[in-house]
Amino acid sequence: MPSMPASSERILASARRVLAAEGTAVLDAAARLGEPFCRLVDAILRLPPGRVAVTGVGKSGIIGMKIAATLASVGTPAFFLKPLDAVHGDLGMVSHEDLLLALSHSGETAEILSVVFAAKNIGARVAVMTGQAGSTLAREADLVLEVPAATEACPLGLAPTTSTTVTLAVGDALAMTLLEMRGFSREDYARYHPGGSLGRRLSLTVGEFMRTGALLPLVRETDTLKQGLAAMTEKERLGVTLIADAEGRLAGILTDGDLRRILTRERDLGGLLDRPLADFMTRDPITIERDSPAREAVRIMEAKGITSLAIKDPRGAPEGIVHLHDILGRSKFYV
């Protein structure tokens, strides 16, 4: 049928209604999470060398593909199992050590039920995400995670909208919770994403990121706190400056955190800015070799709770500094 001209107000009102409905449904799902979610996380963490096989049809299948891909990318071996292909031979990919995660809003989808029955015959455990806790699918499952059967944002109440959004969000919550429980790190992420930007960056060396020459914040230990603060501010606002001794060797470091502690500790702030940096700097700062892998620099910084590492030349003089954001690609300095 021919469409009717619509005003901007009507268009935006329709779009906002959908977003508001879906946003509210996601928040409701967060509030309802409880022990069933914990049991599912625990079951996946306890899998032997098994994997998570995700299955679903239609829009739920598309959401299932995304959930499987996210799980696999953050440390939980997973794959998507097409229901039709599954009952025609692809169930050979599922073993008794695996867990089948079936998605069905109604819990009565015939194709999914066929896959569930077959997977149970193989010996795999079955978990379901469904909007109907009393459905046939839920009764056949070992683990049931009820996804609230919210009203669809579709004005006809027919097209899967709110239900698929909530399922996707809960799937993301599952993947990210597993990531945290496994202690999955940036280095692990880069290992699974060698073709991605982060993977490529972490495969480089510290020397390819470090700031040197005119970009290196560097002062002498005889310089004043005011001069140190100026260096910290002027050099790309790193919030840190390296400090050299009279022989030009690395003697210490001054950071934003040091300044906050100084201001909190010192009772008499008069003349504070004119005192030498030797009175305040952190001596023997943590360093790294310029030829070290960037992933090692990230590991050290995360373990120590710091954001910068100094690099010394063979004579012990400050040669450069590397910031966490330079390596992770969040700095305006490196594009």
Stronger pLDDT, 150 or 66, i.e. the higher one: 66
Phi, psi dihedrals of residue 155, rounded to the nearest 5°: -60, -20
Six token digits for residue 175: 């993947």
pLDDT in the model for residue 4? 59
pLDDT tens-place string over residues 275-306? 999 998 999 899 999 999 888 898 898 888 88
Domain limits, the chain: 8-183, 202-328
CB 125 within 8 A of CB 99: yes
Q: Which residue has the tokens 């330079």?
A: 326
Q: 23: how many CB neighbours lie within 10 A of its CB?
A: 14
pLDDT in the model for residue 149? 67
pLDDT in the model for residue 331? 47
**335 has a pLDDT exceeding 60:** no
CA distances from 251 to 71, 113, 272, 283, 317 (A): 46, 69, 21, 6, 9
Q: Which residues contact 65 (CB under 8 A, 6 or more apart)?
A: 54, 80
Mean pLDDT along residues 96-123: 94
Sheet holding 143-146, edge to edge: 78-80, 52-55, 99-103, 125-130, 143-146
Global confidence as pTM: 0.65
Instruction: Using alpha carbons, select from 58, 189, 71, 185 the residue that is nearest to residue 127.
Output: 71
**332 has a pLDDT exceeding 60:** no
CB 269 within 8 A of CB 221: no
Name the fold adopted by 202-328.
CBS-domain (3.10.580)
Is 8-183 assigned to CATH 3.40.50.10490? yes
pLDDT in the model for residue 333? 44
